[in-house]
Amino acid sequence: MDAAISTALGVIAFELLTGEKPFSGQTVFEILEQHEKAAIPRLPERLAAWQPLIDTLLAKLPAGRPATAATSSR
């Protein structure tokens, strides 16, 4: 799976689960910097079962993201 697609899926999944964006900023550059440097946001306790998926999809290094869609579902 392309790293950009993985990240996009992670952002969409986070938004669907919480109703909020995982990273925020005044400009696109601030948001990109947060994605690069900030900790992966934590889901509320009631959604904790989804955290491993979010962690994988939003991994900072592309090598930490799933290689295939099948891998991300594990």
Query: pLDDT 10s digit of each residue in the chain, 74 long?
Result: 677 888 899 999 999 999 999 999 999 999 999 988 999 999 999 999 999 999 999 998 877 777 765 565 55
* Structure confidence at residue 37 (pLDDT): 93
Q: Are residues 51 and 13 in contact, defined by beta-carbon separation less than 8 angstroms?
A: no
CB 18 within 8 A of CB 44: yes
Identity at 4, one-letter amino acid code: A
**For residue 64, what are the CA distances in angstroms to 25, 33, 50, 57?**
25, 18, 17, 8
